[in-house]
Chains A and B, each alone.
Chain A
Amino acid sequence: MSQLADKQALSRATIRGDWKRARRPFTARGQRWLKPWAGVGGREFAGAKPLLLFALLALLALLLMLNLALGSASIPLEQIMTILLGGEADHLSWTNIVFKFRLPKTATAALAGMALGLSGLLMQTYFRNPLAEPFVLGVSSGASLGVALIVLTSGAVGGGLLAGLGLAGDLMLTAAAGAGAALTMTLVLLVAVRVQSSVTLLILGLMFGYFVGAMVSLLLYFALPERIQAYINWTFGSFSGVTTAQLPILAIFVFAGTLLSAALVKPLNALLLGEDYARSLGINLKRARIGIVLAIALLVSAVTAFCGPIAFIGIAVPHLSRGLLGSSDHRLLLPGTCLAGACVALCAAIIAELPGNNLVLPLNVVTAVLGAPVVMLVVLRHARGKS
């Protein structure tokens, strides 16, 4: 009987031309879950360009291929495709080059760019400061201190480190940087729970950076010249130091941080109006703050440990994706920043290797040359906006 009544109600709704609404009870929720992009056509996105995400995706694919194709040894593109698809290449060394060097380097660059861009976006939104970037909270300083302690003071494995980064040395450095970064993040987390204002947190992070910088300078002052060289090499930054075995660790950290950020889009959007408004809109500020700091920790500590303190990507990429997508909505900015970050890092990786040449430039030189103009532009635009 009741089944009949249901059917009658359904058909009445259908007759009224309202069949979408009639079907909604058992489809709407599931459909919306599977379509995070649902509603992007709404008026709140007027003026934004969400379709540019597809352009970024295409650019990313192109840059990934370029990174695999370009290098000191010239390997034909179809051979690279064969190798990637598991086939036999004409030379065994080519397979080795692609799997042991180019693939890890390309993946590392993409992951690192994604992580740095994303953490920059989180920090700029949370601190409402266009110049905030991953290193402001002192995470990279913490990592640098860990690395400096190992490189500059250790006597036991000193030879290996000085010889130029054997696997044991690599692991040591990574572990030290990770420990330093994690320690800093724990400290920042502890402060973040208690301190009310984001400005205070920003200043504390800066001061922590200076403090750690002084400790590193002290270590450098008393260190042997060869060890200083090893430390400085790390600070130059590089995507090539990650082995196939280390890659999964980096990937897990970056994906965990990205997922956590995705869960934070609503608080992030509310935080655009400031902390008080975010709270009055029903955001659990304490939880959001811990989530943001944790996401930054996951993203930055792994990348810094594996690739060194890479500058400017974190600060420039969020501005770039905001400008491209024409929106401050994190539902667009999050994927946009991931894609743009990966693209920028892959570009930097190509430029650093100077195609057609055996010379390799320090990565931070390239990112600074790419990123500094963006920062200058932002500062100038702000100065103009105020006057």
Chain B
Amino acid sequence: MTPPLETRDLAIGYRRRGKSDIRLGHGLNLRLQRGKLVGLLGPNGIGKSTLLRTLAGLQKPLAGRVFLAGDEVLRLKPHELARRLSMVLTAVPPPNLMNGYALVALGRHPHTDWLGRMTREDHRKVAAALRAVNGKELAERPVAELSDGQRQKLLLARALAQESEIMLLDEPTAYLDLPRKIETIALLKQLAQSQQRAILVSTHDLDLALRNCDSLWLMSAAGITSGAPEDLVLDGSLSATFRADGICFDQHRGGFFLDPPSGQAVCVTGEGEQAIWLRRALIRAGFALDDGPGRIEVSPYKNGNGPAWKLRIDERVTLHHTIEAILKKLESPL
């Protein structure tokens, strides 16, 4: 069976007249599968949007070809292409006098007549798309009054109403709050599985992508590495892709953190909330943590009506009631 989307020796980038081309990737042989959600990850400016635009036929490749179920994307008639592939773009279009329902209804364009008139069937599909994104209450609202996140939600519903096998989404979660981000990615995953769609989503939400995508495309200057998210973590590809000075990918914690600080070593004794938040504060302020016994030691205790800490520097012991006071004391010349 031909894959819904496939590239052969694809090179992407921009042509410049009289100068050399800007190449953002070359020799790309990529493939999407029905029923799978693929995450596209990479640092800013590496060419994620360019790749998505090239796959969607919005932009000509520098070399190579893109096939949709065996047909070259640039040869498909526009409305035929729109029935097979839908997009959600990062840029939120400017407001106008549409209501939410009308915005989603635009997704039926490849299926309606020359005036864009909707049949009962079209209305049913628009309503279903709105339900899928939990956006029923947005239907009657003017788009101009909605937030960027709500508009992005409607644009996603519009792509759903387009009923294409392939969906390409360029940072659809960028304007959303965390619960909405999780909701969106979960929806995409469920759509891929239940309707056998092939979905490619670019995102900067690493953790969400690691937890939900069936596979990842890691885009770096060297090219695109693809594989199951966990494999890419274990073989170090993920940390190599996002490598930057002072930041490292923590394989245990599954996220990016600043390099361990190199300040003075402080030993925090004990466990519990007070110890945990004190450690975080010390890391934030640039102190290193050690297991002591060292020059500086802090031990939390309860002082009747609230938390308190006992701070020992060499032999001198002081008592503090807030973390702020401890940091102030530590930062003052000893």
Q: Are A281 and B106 closer than 8 Å at their CB atoms?
A: yes
A272 proximal to B (CB < 8 A): yes
A265 and B116 CA atoms in complex are apart in Å by 8
Chain A residue at minimal CB-CB distance from B141: A47
Q: Is A322 in contact with chain B by the CB < 8 A criterion? A: yes
Report A-chain residues with C-beta under 8 Å of the C-beta of B105: 42-44
A interface residues, how many (CB within 8 angstroms): 36
Tell me if A32 counts as interface (CB < 8 A to partner B). Answer: yes
Q: Which candidate, A151-159, A219-227, A323-331, is the interface stretch facing chain B?
A: A323-331
* Contact status of A32 and B113, CB under 8 A, knowing A273-B93, A274-B93, A328-B96: yes
Evaluate whether A44 and B115 lie within 8 angstroms (CB atoms) in the complex, with A270-B109, A276-B58 already known: no
Residue A76 CB within 8 A of the other chain? no
Contact between chains at B78 and A270 (CB < 8 Å): no
Q: Tally A-B pairs: CB < 8 A.
A: 106
CB nearest neighbor in A for B109: A281
B101 at the interface (CB under 8 A from A): yes
Whether the pair A281, B118 counts as a contact (CB closer than 8 A) is no
Report the separation of the CA atoms of residues A328 and B79 in the bound assembly, to the nearest whole angstrom.
23
A280 on interface, CB distance cutoff 8 Å = yes
Are A282 and B98 in contact (CB-based, < 8 A)? no
Asked whether B91 lies within 8 Å of A282 as measured between CB atoms, the reply is: no
Considering the chains assembled together, what is the distance between the CA atoms of A281 and B250 in angstroms?
A: 42
- The reply to whether the CB of A128 lies closer than 8 angstroms to some CB of chain B is yes
What is the CB-to-nearest-CB distance from B108 to chain A, in angstroms, rounded to a whole number? 9
> B98 and A266: CB pair below 8 A?
no
Give the chain B neighbours of A263 by CB distance below 8 A: 114
Q: How large is the interface on B (under 10, 10 to 19, 20 to 34, 35 or more residues)?
A: 35 or more
Check B83–A282 contact: CB distance below 8 A.
Answer: yes
* List of A residues within 8 angstroms of B77 by Cβ: 284
**Smallest distance from the beta carbon of A46 to chain B beta carbons, Å?**
6
CA distance A153 to B91 in the complex (A): 51
A20 to B: closest C-beta gap in Å = 10
In chain A, residues 256-311, which have Cβ atoms closer than 8 Å to a Cβ of chain B? 263, 265-266, 269-270, 272-274, 276-277, 279-285
B89 touches A279 (CB 8 A): no
- A43–B101 CB distance below 8 A: yes
The answer to whether the Cβ of B86 comes within 8 Å of any Cβ in the partner chain is yes
Asked whether, in the complex, the Cβ of A46 is within 8 Å of the Cβ of B99, the reply is yes
Residue numbers in A under 8 Å from B97 (CB-CB) = 48, 322, 326-328
- Any B CB within 8 A of the CB of A15: no
Asked whether any CB of chain B lies closer than 8 Å to the CB of A38, the reply is yes
The 7 A-B pairs at the shortest CB distance, nearest first, are namely: A282-B82, A282-B79, A44-B102, A282-B110, A328-B96, A328-B97, A280-B87
Residues on A close to B: CB < 8 A?
A: 32, 36, 38-39, 42-48, 128, 263, 265-266, 269-270, 272-274, 276-277, 279-285, 322, 326-329, 331, 385
21 contacts between A and B (CB under 8 A): A43-B105, A44-B99, A44-B118, A44-B126, A45-B102, A265-B115, A265-B116, A266-B114, A266-B115, A270-B106, A274-B93, A274-B94, A280-B82, A280-B86, A281-B109, A282-B78, A282-B83, A284-B79, A285-B78, A327-B97, A328-B98
